[in-house]
Amino acid sequence: MSITVVGSVAFDTVETPAGRIDRTLAGAATYFSLAASYFTDVRVIAVVGEDFTEREETVFAARGIDTRGIERAPGKSFFWQGSYMENLNEAKTLQTDLNVFASFEPKIPEAYQDSEFLFLANIDPVLQRRVRDAMPQAKLVGGDTMNYWINDHRGNLLKMLEAVDILLINDTETKLLAGHKNPVKAAADVLKMGPKALVVKHGEYGATAFFGDGAFPLSGLDKHHPFRAPALPLDEVVDPTGAGDSFAGGFFGYLASQPELTPAVFRRAMFYGGVMGSFTVERFGPERLTQLTREEIEERFKLFRSLTHLD
Amino acid sequence: MSITVVGSVAFDTVETPAGRIDRTLAGAATYFSLAASYFTDVRVIAVVGEDFTEREETVFAARGIDTRGIERAPGKSFFWQGSYMENLNEAKTLQTDLNVFASFEPKIPEAYQDSEFLFLANIDPVLQRRVRDAMPQAKLVGGDTMNYWINDHRGNLLKMLEAVDILLINDTETKLLAGHKNPVKAAADVLKMGPKALVVKHGEYGATAFFGDGAFPLSGLDKHHPFRAPALPLDEVVDPTGAGDSFAGGFFGYLASQPELTPAVFRRAMFYGGVMGSFTVERFGPERLTQLTREEIEERFKLFRSLTHLD
């Protein structure tokens, strides 16, 4: 089944202890769609400027990603500059130029209307909700958000959360969104806001999925059985940018590739999320995601298994 | 096979968001030995003062722990007061009175000399090394340490590390001991100092074991195969004191109870470590460790398995 993702397609300039890259193709929808493309058909809704050329288009095309929903607008694409020099786990933003993204009005191609999976990457929750409502056929909706929307646009965010089945956010965002610091109580709070499942990302420690009680029609995914997937201990993290979006792409890509959402499928999807995130951080920008093989992905999946399984 | 542990037997006063406890029986050797006692015979080497009464003695006796190595000295026992009010993951020390511990000279009862497992809990590395040398029959030696010894007694600590097979420390201590911030490179550094295995504790995220190459005589535990065990997401942490020592107790207790150290045994030991730590933090002090059943432990082990395993 195909996935439609709405989010940013952007250019990033990033410096890390391993070096620096200038104006690499980036953005949440880019990382998500490249990661998901190894598992299923992906369609993107975004807006780019005149600096998005044949070269960038080719990156999507080479992975068979449908870009008919990427609108070309006069001006420049979204640009972000960040530094991980002080802390590899948290970027320091040096510059953000919204450019064409400032007036983004998602336009959904008619051909996307049969996507049964929809992912709302981190953008204004008003737009996220609008896209969700405009794609009523989507039977499983994932979403992401960030501190800015949680702090300053809570009302709009709550309306978006009502329409999301699986929310993927990090530890800090979970605690900020909830009224508790305790991770289990915080997750329970967030699950009352709408999502049937919450995947909390822990960076180098992996991710934990929490479920609402009886939220999915199938048994086995319930509040008494959280699930924790690992991250791979890596001897070098070149550039952490996009790890979370790659996790989401691997996770939803695998879910969409399966005939049914069972507990075993959900668990494997968590592992594939970690796998795709672990590839992304090995190179600057999304480079590693453009050159993988399914065999490399399966090999790493086995590594994740041996890292966590008793036998 | 029996374990001998050397370390502190103390009294703690602790405040956490869940409440406060005054002068509870505590100390690394207490938590370690109670946790290990569910798996094997345990013998303790420590020093206590006149405030260690029949009541405290009974806590050890009820778990069948050999206390002939607990020396009674004139004066008061080691006392620590700490607060977790600001941060449940890190104690703020309010008071430390070494008392009889200041002149601790470990005395090893003759009857302990056939212990094949030895655990050197966090004390002066000079004493740790002395005990190890005085128990040459010990075939597997575990150890712990802390920032103070890493920063101010590095020379003595390095001599102790040469004599340790499995070192259990946390993320911060690992990075402080090593020359790298990257967790994989930091682990490789520490493994060059002597230990054949390093278990890095991540608090609420569990623990990761790293191995030196070909360090154990058996195959399957090597530098290419780290192993990550989870911690249990708990909806209330009453008192985190002793979680790390309980982990070590469950881990070594299980190892000592098995006829052979295989990769599968090592992995299960990591899980039992997490299990015992998860019980400890449910109550103030070591209370929970005094009243468990093996059935409860096995039940929780299954929970840890379902938390991490694909099927």
Cβ contact, residue pair A307, B268, below 8 Å: no
| Closest Cα in chain B, distance from residue A296 (Å) | 17
Cβ–Cβ under 8 Å, residues A268 and A23: no
Best A16, A182, A237, A304 residue to mutate vs chain B (most B CBs within 10 Å) = A182
Cβ–Cβ under 8 Å, residues B18 and B239: yes
Given the structure tokens 């003695």, which residue do they identify? B57
Cβ contact, residue pair A310, B271, below 8 Å: yes
pLDDT confidence of residue A15: 97
High-pLDDT (> 70) share of chain A, %: 96
Confidence band of A179 (pLDDT split at 50, 70, 90): confident
**Tokens found for residue A33:** 């769609």
pTM of the model: 0.95
Q: Does B310 touch chain A (CB under 8 A)?
A: yes
- Determine the average pLDDT of the residues in B251-271: 95
Cβ–Cβ under 8 Å, residues A264 and B310: yes
pLDDT confidence of residue A279: 98
Cβ contact, residue pair B308, A306, below 8 Å: no
The ipTM estimated for the assembled molecules is 0.92
Instruction: With a cut of 70, say whether residue B217 has pLDDT above it.
Output: no
- Determine the average pLDDT of the residues in B67-82: 98
How many CB atoms lie under 10 A from the CB of residue B145?
Answer: 24
- Determine the average pLDDT of the residues in A95-121: 97
Cβ contact, residue pair A184, B234, below 8 Å: yes
pLDDT confidence of residue A219: 47
Compute the distance between CA of residue A234 and CA of residue B182 in angstroms, rounded to an integer.
8
Cβ contact, residue pair A182, B235, below 8 Å: yes
pLDDT confidence of residue B134: 97
Q: What is the pLDDT of residues B100-138, one digit of tens each?
A: 999 999 999 999 999 999 999 999 999 999 999 999 999
Q: Give the residues across from B97 on adjacent strands.
A: B79
**Tokens found for residue B295:** 């059935």
Instruction: With a cut of 90, say whether residue B180 has pLDDT above it.
Output: no
Which helix (H) or strand (E) segment is B22 a member of?
Answer: strand B19-26
**Tokens found for residue B2:** 């029996």
Tell me which residue in B208, B230, B271 faces A233 most closely, judged by beta carbons.
B208
Higher per-residue pLDDT: B42 or B87: B42
pLDDT confidence of residue A213: 75
Tell me which residue in A181, A204, A309 faces B309 most closely, judged by beta carbons.
A309
Instruction: With a cut of 70, say whether residue B216 has pLDDT above it.
Output: no
Residue B73 carries which DSSP code? -
| Closest Cα in chain B, distance from residue A310 (Å) | 6
- Transcribe A193-258 into DSSP letters: TS-SEEEEE-GGG-EEEEE-TT-SSSTT-STT--EEE-----S--S--TTHHHHHHHHHHHHHHHS
Instruction: Supply the mean pLDDT for chain B.
Output: 95
pLDDT confidence of residue B179: 81
Instruction: With a cut of 60, say whether residue B218 has pLDDT above it.
Output: no
Which helix (H) or strand (E) segment is A117 a member of?
Answer: strand A117-120
Range of weakest confidence among A216-220, A254-258, B180-184: A216-220
Cβ–Cβ under 8 Å, residues B193 and B169: no
Cβ contact, residue pair B185, A235, below 8 Å: yes
pLDDT confidence of residue B221: 66
Compute the distance between CA of residue B38 and CA of residue A220 in angstroms, rounded to an integer.
31
Higher per-residue pLDDT: B198 or A311: B198
pLDDT confidence of residue B219: 47
Higher per-residue pLDDT: A224 or B26: B26
pLDDT confidence of residue B16: 97
Q: What is the pLDDT of residues B226-236, one digit of tens each?
A: 999 999 999 99
High-pLDDT (> 90) share of chain B, %: 91
Higher per-residue pLDDT: B161 or A89: B161
